[in-house]
Structure 1
């Protein structure tokens, strides 16, 4: 890639790995996920769930832009490094403002306006850096020009939403996201993907980060409580659930998808990257966020004997989130693998069936003690992962090691 010497942009090679600076940038995303989880968990109502999902969609689209950018130019070289640090600062402002993204708290700056302005600067740095990276590449520069209107529209609508409240505000948020997402979807396939392995690795790491946030939620739920056996049992069950979801993604799915992405070429490769990773990883991460809401409440029930008994069941949004979160994760995972590899497969059908079972078990779990409901979730996921590992051992061996077992 030839770029002006003064900006010193270095192209990402086909064998590049995720840089430490990109991982540093992702730490801000962790904090944003924590903010989204808190926004949902602090007011367990349908309104808070909708707002949390909208904020999650905005934060995700900010992150996605830099995943694509880092696949075209190295994030830790020259102007790109400076740009990423500026974007990180703006992203941190967005994350800090998530609790006030819809309702401004008394005193200080207007939260919804600060959120929208922070979002604008995150996207602005992305477009400016991509514009510099496209020097000498008319097709990529044309793609960026087609992308700018949807980005600008989303930002303007969020600023308008900051002046509204209630249903009108929510509708404006939805319009901003629809415009931004659809604009990217119909804007063409003129983007660049220099390294499929880097792209797959970056998204895999963000799944790990999201799962890590679910583990953080376990601890956050009991930080003010003395350690007890119910807390230890709940923490181990929560860790097991996160670990089983990790297994479902990383054991074979990510390997098969990465190979299919690397095998594709031209516009088809761009479509697979955009659809499978940019779009279909969103429900995967949303599923983990919902799980985090449920885990936080379960551990609070298990340890806070002054307000809850060990026999108390979960109810309302925390109950739904505890089981629906992993269900959404499995559905997103199945859709991702089917889209990128081009085949549904028996494993995907099994995961879809497990997701349906989890949703059907919500009324049952609502009659169980909170810890027992978490244990039920862990048992279902353990059954799924164990069956997959044993029943499809030969297929798993072939994907992981490139040869069938002797």
Structure 2
């Protein structure tokens, strides 16, 4: 039983697992943010060599910073009662900071670096202090204190990168973000206080699963937006219309493959886990890859619809084929997290794409996207054949099923 002041802030055991309207409102800022990430990636399609590598690294860093903000918020609303005014204020404040990061993101590695970094630090440093103050004497208050301490330690790197020379920004921010992710993985250890392993946290597992499914659909919705905007803004031709259709079919196949079995049973798996925090932490990393893969694939849509039979370039292969390859890898990881096994259908599709990639490097974007759609259709077909006339499956996750020892007093 929760003791101490601030216990009323914790999610009660019978709290609804559904996301609140406030959380769905919060996601609107990240619709803008994910669109800006895709736009930055799209701006790299004409680059080659080292310029392409550094451009991808910068955009990936900005995406990872946004993801850390979103995922921390999802965990907060899974641990604390989102209907409480203080938690609602925290979510709205985070939404505003996320929107600032979104609007500065296109030039965040250039002249808008400072507002991006400041918005990020306000969430990472100030927000946990607000939560800790609201928890008052409750033992769990030490968890946000740890987070604030570690974020304050990496803050000088963020600010130095924003205010310093442009050529030092990327390495400084990489070091800062690596510190933030490492702290999360280690449980933000501090002298005397020790660490608070995320895998041992008490969370509303069904709520966290709901949030992961929603962010995937948001990313998928962003890809549909790209398809519609690009096609409506280009000169009509039969080839562009065909590319429009293939791009839509690819997105529909991504949806089908994700929600078949594992994606659909994610809620059940987290709800049944003895230690949902452990499975939730693993699933968080998986969904990072899932969302990133959808964004990268959406850039491929834009390239193919604009120039369906343009000359082959290394950059288009990275987006048109690389995005779906990353998606299949992440989806295989999700399958293991839910069932403890690797699906042959997705392994087959992944092997087909990897084997055909050298040949696709010499083809046109339209041919590449068509082959990708064919490989994904094969995965979906094999999934359907495997499930045909089989009883309804249940999750059998090997992660977080056995609790070792007593949970942390702060968990």
Report the TM range for the smaller structure's normalisation: 0.7 to 0.9
Between stretches 14-23 and 144-153, larger displacement belongs to 144-153
Cα deviation, residue 51, structure 1: 0.9
Equivalent-residue separation in structure 2 for 1:366 and 1:313 (angstroms):
10
- Equivalent of residue 378 in structure 1, options 370, 373, 378: 373
Aligned to 2:355: 360
* Counterpart for residue 306 of structure 1: none
1:343 is matched with: 340
- Give the Cα separation in 1 of the matches to 2:53 and 2:237: 32
* 1:330 match: 328
Structure with higher RCO (Cα < 8 A, 6+ apart): 2
CA contact (8 A) 1:68 1:193 kept: no
CA–CA separation in structure 2 for the residues paired with 1:76 and 1:154: 32
| Alpha-carbon offset, residue 328 of structure 1 | 0.7
How far has the Cα of 1:246 moved from its partner?
Answer: 1.1
CA contact (8 A) 1:294 1:321 kept: yes
Matches within 5 A, 1:222-301: 222-265=231-274, 268-277=275-284, 279-301=285-307
**Partner SS for 2:393:** helix
Structure 1, unpaired ranges of 5+? 105-110, 303-310, 401-406
Distance 1:79 1:145, change over 3 A: closer
TM-score, scaled to structure 2: 0.84
Alpha carbons 1:90, 1:118 under 8 Å: kept: yes
1:71–1:92: structure 2 CA closer, same or farther, 3 Å change rule?
same
Which whole-Å CA distance do the structure 2 matches of 1:154 and 1:318 have between them?
Answer: 35
Could you tell me the TM-score, scaled by structure 1's length?
A: 0.85
SS in 2 for 1:210: helix
Aligned to 1:141: 141
Root-mean-square deviation (CA, aligned residues, Å) is 2.5
Kept in 2, the 8 Å contact 1:34–1:213? The answer is yes
| C-alpha distance 243-386 of structure 1, shift in aligned 2 (>3 A) | same
Q: 1:208/1:154 Cα in 2 relative to 1: closer, same or farther (>3 Å)?
A: farther
Query: For residue 37 of structure 2, what is the aligned residue in structure 1?
Result: 36
- 1:6-85 counterparts in 2 under 5 A? 9=9, 11=11, 13-44=14-45, 45-85=52-92
Structure 2 unaligned regions, length at least 5: 46-51, 188-195, 396-411
Alpha-carbon distance change, 165 to 366 in structure 1, aligned in 2, over 3 angstroms: farther
Contact 2:10 / 2:80 at 8 angstroms: preserved in 1?
yes
Q: Is the 8 A contact 2:125 2:152 kept in 1?
A: no
